[in-house]
Structure formats: C-alpha cells, structure tokens
Amino acid sequence: MVRAPRDAATAWELIVLRVDVFKQLGEFSVNVAFTSEGRVTGLFGSSGAGKTSLVSMIAGLVQPDRGIIAVDSAVLYDGNARIHVPPHRRRIGYVFQDARLFPHLSVMQNLDYGRRMNQLARDAVAETRITDMLDIGHLLNRRPGGLSGGERQRVALGRALLSQPRLLLLDEPMGALDEERKAEILPYLKRLRDEGDVPMVFVSHDADEMRQLATQVVMLKRGRVAAFGGTEILPRIIAAA
C-alpha cells in the first residue's frame, strides 16, 4: 500500500497564531498585535521589550488587560467575551530560560510529567523519537541536579514536546548558556523546526540566533511591534545597547 508522503508544508500553513493584546505593567505597557503563520515565529527585541510578558500571556500565566489570543480556531483569551483558558488547558508547551525541571523527579519522570497530567496514552515511538532527536536517552535515570545547563535545556525541551502541545514557546532557551553550550543546543532546535511537527514561538535578543531559526519575525520595542516580516528585517549589525 502506498501512502502519500505527509506534506509538511501544507500542515504548517494551517497553524495560525493570532495575538492582539494590551497589558499595563506598572510604568510599562505591552500593546502588541500580529498574526503569524510561520513554523517558527521569532519574537525579537532587547531585554525589556516585553518579550517574556507576551509569551507568558500566550501561555496563560499572565492575563492581559484586554485583547485576544487564538491558535487556529481555538480562542485562548478574549477580553470582551471574558474567556481566559487556564494554562493547564491550553496545550501550549513552554520552555523557560531556566529549564525549571522538577528537582524531585528523575529525568524520565520529568519527561513523562506532561503525559501523566494530560492522561495521554503512553507513546513509546514518540518517546524514542524525541529522546533520540535531543540525545537525552542516556540521561533518563539521572536527577536534574546532576545535569549540565545544555542537558537540562534539552530535557526541558523534551518534556514540553512530550506533553503534545499545539504550540511550543521557547523563551530564550539559550539565554542562560555560554557560547559553547549555545552551539550545542542550536542544532537541536533546528532539527525540531525541520523534523518536528509543532509550531514554535522563539524568543531571543540575539539577531544571529533569530536568523538561524525563525521563519517569521516580530520585532518588539518597548512593548510595541516595531516591525513584522521575514528574517531580512533583522539588523545586520547589532547596535551597542
């Protein structure tokens, strides 16, 4: 029996992330609107541009003052309709800058956490595929305390993926790593983009990282969208801050 090869490009175009939110945070406010269809939407900007606030709103950890957040036809937040889906029902994976692995659980239990919480059936194929892709198979019985920064970040990535999210948020996943470790993680993220089937939102202040990973870029400045487009909008030379 011949099965038509899965056309990844078609599947990708179906995923639309729509964000139009306002949030006052003390003196600072985030007022951002964009609609992205890229497989990796980059949120680019210097620190304090509102990137993490925005990602927290998409994940549901922070509630906007008003606006709308939707992934495809699923409305996750709608200020007018008073819809605020709590984070645990959004099915949005979140990889934090500081990994946030559960210290009391082994790597394997960390990876399995999302499946247990969502009461999904065990999927050995997906598990093997993801642990292979991220090269973390040899770490399964270790505790997070004994892992290097790069290993932790890979486990965090695997943990988020195995919860079967419809969207994956990567908040400066290499931010806490030195140059060498960054170079160690980047190839995995690229693999994830090219082989994985989850669209991503990638947050970074590093134009070079952004250029390598993102397919669409939202440039943020002081809580506003400064530019939106392909990676060509990224600055060639990063101006000294």
* Region for residue 229 given its phi and psi (left: phi exceeds 0; alpha: psi -120 to 50; beta: otherwise): left
Q: In this structure, which amino acid lies at residue 65? A: D
* Structure-block tokens of residue 72: 């495809």
Which of 2, 10, 26, 103 forms a contact with another protein (CB under 8 A)?
Answer: 103
Separation CA 224–CA 216 (nearest Å): 17
Q: How far is the CB of 161 from another protein (least distance, A)?
A: 11
**Residue 153 touching another protein (CB under 8 A):** no
Which of 113, 140, 222, 224 forms a contact with another protein (CB under 8 A)?
Answer: 113
Size of residue set near another protein by CB under 8 A: 29
**Residue 138 touching another protein (CB under 8 A):** no
Each residue 17-56 as x (binds another protein by CB under 8 A) or -, in order, gives ----------------------------------------
C-beta separation of 38 from 214 below 8 A: yes
Among 10-18, 102-110, 173-181, 196-204, which window interacts with another protein (CB under 8 A)?
102-110
Strand segments, DSSP code E, in the chain are 17-25, 28-36, 40-44, 66-71, 74-78, 83-84, 92-95, 167-171, 200-204, 216-221, 224-229
**Residue 104 touching another protein (CB under 8 A):** yes
Strands 40-44 and 66-71, by their bridges, are unpaired
Report the candidate in 72, 53, 69 with the shortest Cα–Cα distance to residue 61.
Answer: 53
**Residue 93 touching another protein (CB under 8 A):** yes
DSSP conformation class of 139: G
**Residue 142 touching another protein (CB under 8 A):** yes
Q: How far is the CB of 158 from another protein (least distance, A)?
A: 12
Which of 18, 100, 181, 224 forms a contact with another protein (CB under 8 A)?
Answer: 100
Enumerate binding residues for another protein (CB under 8 A): 59-61, 86-94, 96, 98, 100, 102-104, 113-114, 117-118, 142-143, 145-146, 159-160, 163
